[in-house]
Copies of this chain bind each other. A is one copy, B any other.
Amino acid sequence: MSAEPPRHPTPEEFRSAGYATIDWIVDYLAGVQDRSVSPAVAPGEVRAALPDTVPETGEPFADLLADVDRLIAPGITHWQHPGFYGYFPGNSSPPAVLGELLSAGLGVQGMLWSTSPACTELETHVMDLLVDLCGLPDRFRSDGPGGGVIQDSASSASLCAVLAARDRAGGAAVLPDLRVYTSSQAHSSIEKGVLVAGFGADQLRAIDVDDAYAMDPVALRAAVDADMAAGLIPCLVVATVGTTSSGAVDPLVPIAEVAGPAGAWLHVDAAWAGSAAVCPEHRGILGGLEHADSYVFNPHKWLLTNFDCSAFFVADRAPLLDSLSVVPEYLRNSASDSGEVVDYRDWQVPLGRRFRSLKLWFVLRTYGVEGLRAHIRHHVEAAGRFAERIGVNPRLDLAAPVSLSLVCFSHVDGDAAGEELLAALNATGEVLLTHTRLSDRYVLRLAIGGAQTTSTHVDRVADLVDRLV
């Protein structure tokens, strides 16, 4: 051979670089609270400092890690900072990080059972464990017609629900006649999924909400009835348990009473709030879920598992597979042909898939039921205490009912004052909050849920609010 293989790092070089990376991460997370949550960088500033070519010959690993320390870490928003209260939390934990590391080290593909049996079987197993852990309906277990799969995001999972619903109702042949319903407070991913699936924007009905920003089932019924009277076909209703703006909970029972008789698929998006169901006292928000055709929640938001880990369940996998199964010769194999195995490729849009269940399995076992419940309960209690502080402040209003660990509040002097308060809070570098609009009013959101965030940190936000408002 004239073409020699490249020089790969030796096992001992890999080990040494691995230890150094672990050290860097442990130290980063142990010290992250001393950094400013948001980086002080202008657009283009990070990139301008980066080496601008691929080197001809390789560089030592220490140089890479030094550049992460010097060029990258100062330019990220520190989602693992205990003062991160923006959007929704993006949880991380040591077992999840190490599960992800193992997944990378094993480097397998879970597209088919046969491409790595343990990857598929552990995933089926942990999804059934989640059914137990969260008290979900038995119909989502894998031993009946239903089952669960890990996807990258609730966006992708909800898209799969849209596709299954669309095709169960007749698919491309009747597409212009199909209609989809969700509340005006639903996440933008629902609209995006509907558009991806080939619907026009006018085929998505934005149903009105009540004073607590939850879908009004009477308005839903009116919209569905009107469409059916016009000869249109309601194919999907998406209910949200824990909206992004305010954590509102759509009432599943009356929504199911509309969706079911209309023949529409009922998908429940509990991307954030669903993690709270590890606590029996919070399972009321999922009342009626036994009528849903599909359900998604994200352990990567509030259940200590690193992104990406979105848990998607269906009551009947047949319509999902009917939409997503395309089997070329080069993927055929005797295990699949036997019908005895699950091929998760058919449960998602992409073909390839990582071994994501490892990190979730590690989290469940490292924290145990008690640890996971403590994580949720501590944040919910902290949110309640923060809301009390807002409630007694004459310059602030609670902008929506407190939902689990999400507190929304407005400035009584109006939008500009609210924007100023948000800017002042974030300018401290100690915290990061984001905003939304509710009833056309500027609203600050405090989304509590970081792995390192404790009630002490939340009390500190309340102090900052009192000082800066």
Contacting residues, chain B, for A435 (C-beta < 8 A)? 329-330
Contacting residues, chain B, for A166 (C-beta < 8 A)? 198
Contacting residues, chain B, for A29 (C-beta < 8 A)? 11, 14, 105
Q: CB within 8 A of A76: which of B2, B26, B68, B117?
A: B117
Complex CA gap A90/B102 in Å reads: 15
Whether B28 lies near A76 (C-beta < 8 A) is: no
Q: What range describes how many residues of A lie at the interface?
A: 35 or more
Contacting residues, chain B, for A203 (C-beta < 8 A)? 172
Whether B124 lies near A377 (C-beta < 8 A) is: no
Contact with B along A343-372 (1 / 0, CB 8 A): 000000111101100100110111111111
**Interface status of A228 (Cβ within 8 A of chain B):** no
Which candidate, A186-194, A229-237, A258-266, A285-293, is the interface stretch facing chain B? A186-194
- In the complex where A64-B366, A326-B191 touch, is A107 in contact with B95 (Cβ < 8 A)? no
Q: Nearest Cβ in chain B — how far from A160, in angstroms?
A: 9
Contact with B along A29-70 (1 / 0, CB 8 A): 110000000010101111100110111111101011000100
Interface of chain A residues 194 through 220 with chain B (CB within 8 A): 195-201, 203
Whether B104 lies near A43 (C-beta < 8 A) is: no
**Considering the complex of A and B, which 5 residue pairs feature the smallest CB-CB distances, nearest first?**
A198-B198, A75-B118, A25-B105, A18-B22, A92-B107
- In the complex where A1-B455, A22-B22, A100-B104 touch, is A43 in contact with B77 (Cβ < 8 A)? no
Complex CA gap A25/B91 in Å reads: 24
**Interface status of A464 (Cβ within 8 A of chain B):** no
Whether B133 lies near A54 (C-beta < 8 A) is: yes
Q: CB within 8 A of A375: which of B5, B63, B176, B362?
A: B5
Contacting residues, chain B, for A73 (C-beta < 8 A)? 106, 118
Complex CA gap A368/B9 in Å reads: 13
Whether B349 lies near A122 (C-beta < 8 A) is: no
Number of copies: 2
Contacting residues, chain B, for A358 (C-beta < 8 A)? 68, 72
**Interface status of A121 (Cβ within 8 A of chain B):** yes
Whether A196 lies near B195 (C-beta < 8 A) is: no
Instruction: Kindly name the residue among A75, A96, A173, A327 whose own CB sees the greatest number of chain B CB atoms within 10 A.
Output: A75
Q: Nearest Cβ in chain B — how far from A116, in angstroms?
A: 5
- In the complex where A3-B380, A47-B124 touch, is A90 in contact with B109 (Cβ < 8 A)? yes
Whether B64 lies near A365 (C-beta < 8 A) is: yes
**Interface status of A378 (Cβ within 8 A of chain B):** yes
**Interface status of A183 (Cβ within 8 A of chain B):** no
Closest to A22 in B: B18
Whether A4 lies near B374 (C-beta < 8 A) is: yes
**Interface status of A469 (Cβ within 8 A of chain B):** no
Contacting residues, chain B, for A11 (C-beta < 8 A)? 26-27, 29-30
Interface pairs (20), CB distance under 8 Å: A3-B378, A8-B94, A14-B25, A39-B118, A41-B117, A55-B365, A72-B122, A75-B117, A77-B108, A86-B115, A87-B115, A92-B104, A107-B307, A153-B351, A159-B349, A172-B201, A196-B349, A198-B198, A329-B437, A349-B349
Whether B79 lies near A108 (C-beta < 8 A) is: yes
Whether B117 lies near A77 (C-beta < 8 A) is: yes
